[in-house]
Structure 1
Amino acid sequence: MDWLTHLDISTLYWLHQSVGSTVMNRFIVSLTTLINCLWLWLAVGITGLWQKRSRWLVVTVIVAVGAAVLIGDGALKHVVMRTRPCFLLSDAPLLMPLPSLHSYSFPSGHSFFFFSGATAIYGWNHRLGQVAYGVALLVAFSRLYLFMHFPSDVLAGAILGILVGRCAYLACRHVQKSITK
């Protein structure tokens, strides 16, 4: 596993040196602040549930993200217990407040949540799902840029998110079909 950690660390520094700037710092901090706003997601969810045509899409996203939270933050992070790069690397650029010392790196929760949600959305609406995947990629990039996760944590979160999102879509689609029969 030392080779993976070395590759992860090299990639983080290379990424930051390649695209790092004051403008990028502001963008990533603003993006992170926005995506961590619980009120925004509650408003979007309530609005989506209110409209009949988007109700199943929103329910599927709630199921997918809920499962991602349980699997990722509830189980995997506490089994693997990988230290975040911002704690491991003394010269990591810190643009945001540090997370809790008991908050682990593997898998990236944000990547897991956003890719599971994007996959759930894509199941119901391909065009909107493509936009959601674009947002998920931006979120995943932000986790690397902020030194909150290693690239392998983000990749694992994205893969797990796609799998969980697809399962949530298939399960919700099955329930929807059985209700409308």
Structure 2
Amino acid sequence: MLKSVLQLDRSLFYYINNRWSNDVFDAFMPFIRNQYFWVPLYLFLLAFVFTNFRTKALWWVLFFLATFALTDLISASVIKTLVERPRPCADPIASETVRMLIPCSYSYSFVSSHATNHFGMAMFMFMSMKQFSKRWIWLVFGWALIISFAQIYVGAHFPVDVLGGSLLGMLIGHRTAIVFNKQFGGLQVN
């Protein structure tokens, strides 16, 4: 069964990485996955939180950063070293056809830390800002989804790496949000 899943994973990777290729995505997707591209969003988020939630803002930011630290630590330092799955550029089968739009990283592939981090932060935001997140859920999870999709498109990860990272990130974000909400009652406008 694992062999069938990996074969399907490689096929889906080939379809996204090669068949969906176009000049617009080729130019745009490498930027989407770059953390510096999102600095204005992070600054807006900080300003929004400190402006609207003064009394809990610092705690929220600390929990948000803790969510990021946990997702990154667990994905990069624990799971990747346990699974040791090669990236598409180092995979004996996929490397023959992969289109690399970024330099090949020879670190391990499963799970995608980009997906884990961003879905973790998205879930934390959704659950800790329920007053606002129902209206903006598509934006928060769309942000994580487009970054994760870019990982496949640029050739950095297989779809299963992204799916696994997304699920792991949502689990971690869910848990940190539960702790934050229990301690601080979630964010409410002051």
TM-score of the pair, normalised by structure 2: 0.81
User: Against the structure 1 CA distance between its residues 138 and 39, is the aligned structure 2 distance closer, same or farther, given a 3 Å change threshold?
Assistant: closer
Q: Percent identity?
A: 25
Note if 1:167 corresponds to 2:175: yes
> Residue 126 of structure 2: SS of its match in structure 1?
helix
CA distance in 2, matches of 1:38, 1:16: 23
CA distance in 2, matches of 1:36, 1:86: 24
Report the Cα offset of residue 13 of structure 1: 1.1
> Residue 63 of structure 2: SS of its match in structure 1?
helix
> Corresponding residue for 2:96?
90
CA distance in 2, matches of 1:11, 1:149: 11
Note if 1:72 corresponds to 2:75: yes
Segments of structure 1 that go 5 or more residues without pairing to the other structure are: none
User: Against the structure 1 CA distance between its residues 93 and 141, is the aligned structure 2 distance closer, same or farther, given a 3 Å change threshold?
Assistant: same
> Corresponding residue for 1:61?
64
Task: Find the partner of 2:111 among 107, 112, 115.
Answer: 107
> Residue 93 of structure 1: SS of its match in structure 2?
coil
Matched residue type, 1:9: R
> Corresponding residue for 1:121?
125
User: 1:110–1:139: 8 Å Cα contact kept in structure 2?
Assistant: yes
> Residue 87 of structure 1: SS of its match in structure 2?
coil
Instruction: Please say which of residues 153-162 and 37-46 is displaced more in the overlay.
Output: 37-46
User: Against the structure 1 CA distance between its residues 130 and 60, is the aligned structure 2 distance closer, same or farther, given a 3 Å change threshold?
Assistant: farther
Instruction: Please say which of residues 126-135 and 73-82 is displaced more in the overlay.
Output: 126-135
Report the Cα offset of residue 60 of structure 1: 3.1
Q: Deviations over 1:61-108 (max 9, x none)?
A: 212111101211121111111100122213311111222x2x110111
Task: Find the partner of 2:145 among 137, 150, 162.
Answer: 137
User: Against the structure 1 CA distance between its residues 4 and 32, is the aligned structure 2 distance closer, same or farther, given a 3 Å change threshold?
Assistant: same
> Residue 111 of structure 1: SS of its match in structure 2?
helix
Report the Cα offset of residue 49 of structure 1: 6.1
Segments of structure 2 that go 5 or more residues without pairing to the other structure are: 186-190
TM-score of the pair, normalised by structure 1: 0.84
User: 1:65–1:113: 8 Å Cα contact kept in structure 2?
Assistant: yes
> Corresponding residue for 1:32?
33
> Residue 155 of structure 2: SS of its match in structure 1?
coil
User: 2:102–2:155: 8 Å Cα contact kept in structure 1?
Assistant: no
Question: Number of residues paired by the alignment?
Answer: 174
CA distance in 2, matches of 1:49, 1:77: 33
Report the Cα offset of residue 19 of structure 1: 2.0
CA distance in 2, matches of 1:167, 1:60: 11
Note if 1:51 corresponds to 2:51: yes
CA distance in 1, matches of 2:142, 2:44: 18
